[in-house]
Amino acid sequence: MSSVASAAGFADLGVPADLAAVLATRGITIPTPIQAATLPDSLAGRDVLGRGRTGSGKTYAFLVPLVARLAASGGRARPGRPRALVLAPTRELVGQIQESLEPLAKAAGLTTQTVFGGVGQNPQVQGLRRGADIVLACPGRLEDLIGQGHCDLGAVEVTVLDEADHMADLGFLPGVRRLLDRTPRESQRLLFSATLDKAIDVLVKRFLRNPVTHEADSAQSPVATMDHHVLHVAREHRVSVLTDLTSAPGRTVVFTRTKHGAKALTRQLNRNGVPTVELHGNLSQGARTRNMDAFHSGKASTLVATDIAARGIHVDDVALVVHADPPVEHKAYLHRSGRTARAGAKGTVITLMTDEQVRDVRDLTRAAGIKPTITRISGSSHPLLAELAPGERVTVPGGLVVEAPATPARQGGGRSQGGSGRNRSRGRRGGQPATQQQGSQQGSGQSAAKPAGGGGRSRRRPAAASGGQSRHSASSFSSGRR
């Protein structure tokens, strides 16, 4: 089937042929419910309030009309004066939106610039000075650059708020309001969110003009391809159960409640032979990028993340999501779970529950509209684990090894690298940061010695991490060691 024919569904909604063709080259030929509901109104220039769960296709629901509207208006970006603004709560999400936007913007001859903290601002300033049609930004850094005189929102024609409810949860709404106040009142505004609550109503009443509201694939809508399970486990068995689940084939995302818990669990899984990286607010932007690259490429099979990172994780083919710590509220549960079973794919969501968490998990799943299968298991030898995460368990000695910094050279007069006075001699091997190199040279996480034994489910079962696993708190996997 030709790309034009494949894109007929989008063409029927009014999407320009060149943009529909771009979507078709990415395998996107049939509009999702949120796209089908919102595109006719957003393409017509109306303000839109859209609700759709994570993975429902919201990104293209606002990117397509944004690009189409700018291309149709025929304007040109001037230095420091973007024509469109997309606001998102996290730098990971900004990066994901940029990745989806790039081919659409290229087809329309538009330029883009990302703006977020955690990195030096000079490249962002230079990009704004060159003139960017579309700016994709986190509120804090954008306000900083506006305050320094590097950006003016007075020429914005279209503004998009993505994950508006998450921005409210993170306390970003005051900054969002200040930014929207700087955009022309007559400009188009598109607000997308997984939930539409009172915090979002404040933005709607103040900034959207006669908005059209569309609610498709709401957060509480059941996902037919997503299976939910609760494993009732003893506290001292949590790490061994997680090791078994994450050493199965495929990508796994594990969520913890705290940054310290994410760091500790990452260390424990690597020690037990599961190549694992972490994602949380204590990491530098460089470390976050390296870790996500390792997870995308398959060097790491498991990602351990906190709630604040949940919205920015978009990796294809995540087969399993595990709530190592049950989240505090149901919206976090839904957004965490949305990392799997995306775009019609199948996925499994597992929540680990200890005795003292029974009531909280029951209330959590009820509020989320989920009826999970609850099973009490005795540990990592329970046969249900093989059903939830099928396949041979494979481990790599040391997991994803973090290489120690090399000793700075003291010969030849001079610093080892970089010239900043700090030790930058972590080095690179084969183009990869040394901090992300895998300890095994066997490739793709395959261990040299495959588990022996019959029955179709042989495994290597690494010893559980020592050091008082029974003392882990409900919200952290830290064992108290430094």
Within its chain, how far is the Cα of 130 from the centroid? 29
Please check whether residues 465 and 381 belong to one and the same domain.
yes
Please check whether residues 350 and 287 belong to one and the same domain.
yes
pLDDT of residue 167: 83
* Token pair for 355: 């005795």
**Contacts (Cβ under 8 Å, ≥6 apart) of 156:** 82, 83, 84, 85, 183, 184, 187
Please check whether residues 266 and 207 belong to one and the same domain.
no
**Average pLDDT of 450-456?**
35
**Average pLDDT of 234-242?**
95
As a whole number of angstroms, the longest Cα–Cα distance in the chain is 71
In 3D space, the residue among 291, 294, 241, 288 whose CA is nearest the CA of residue 268 turns out to be 241
Q: Which of 215, 234, 260 is the last residue of a domain?
A: 215
Query: For 58-84, what is the HEC assignment?
Result: HHHHHHHHHHHHHHHHCCCCECCECCE
Count of alpha carbons within 13 Å of 50, Cβ hemisphere only? Answer: 34
Please check whether residues 97 and 137 belong to one and the same domain.
yes
Please check whether residues 150 and 182 belong to one and the same domain.
yes
- 51 three-class SS: strand
Q: Does residue 22 lie in a domain region?
A: no
Q: Does residue 40 lie in a domain region?
A: yes
Q: Which domain holds residue 59?
A: 32-215
pLDDT of residue 180: 95
pLDDT of residue 44: 95
pLDDT of residue 65: 97
Q: Which of 195, 215, 235 is the last residue of a domain?
A: 215
Please check whether residues 387 and 305 belong to one and the same domain.
yes
Range name among 45-49, 197-201, 390-394 with the lowest pLDDT average: 197-201
Q: Which of 215, 241, 275 is the last residue of a domain?
A: 215
Please check whether residues 62 and 202 belong to one and the same domain.
yes
Average pLDDT of every residue of the chain: 79
Of residues 204 and 158, more confidently modeled: 158
The string of pLDDT tens digits covering residues 468-479 is: 333 334 455 654
pLDDT of residue 111: 96
Range name among 237-241, 367-371, 412-416, 478-482 with the lowest pLDDT average: 412-416
**Average pLDDT of 307-334?**
78
CB 161 within 8 A of CB 194: no
Please check whether residues 134 and 262 belong to one and the same domain.
no
- The alpha-helical segments, DSSP class H, found in 305-349 are 330-337
Tell me the CATH number at 115: 3.40.50.300
- The alpha-helical segments, DSSP class H, found in 109-234 are 122-130, 139-147, 164-169, 173-181, 198-207
**Average pLDDT of 384-388?**
94
Please check whether residues 450 and 401 belong to one and the same domain.
yes
Per-residue pLDDT for 261 more than 70?
yes
Is the pTM value of this prediction over 0.85?
A: no
Q: Does residue 6 lie in a domain region?
A: no
What residue type is assigned to position 397 of the chain? Answer: P
Q: Does residue 479 lie in a domain region?
A: no
**Average pLDDT of 281-297?**
85
The string of pLDDT tens digits covering residues 170-216 is: 788 899 999 999 999 999 999 988 777 777 888 888 999 999 998 87
Per-residue pLDDT for 340 more than 70?
no
Q: Does residue 68 lie in a domain region?
A: yes
Please check whether residues 243 and 378 belong to one and the same domain.
yes
pLDDT of residue 132: 96
Residues in the chain, how many?
482
pLDDT of residue 51: 84
The string of pLDDT tens digits covering residues 107-148 is: 999 999 999 998 899 999 999 999 999 999 999 999 999 999
* Token pair for 444: 């793709």
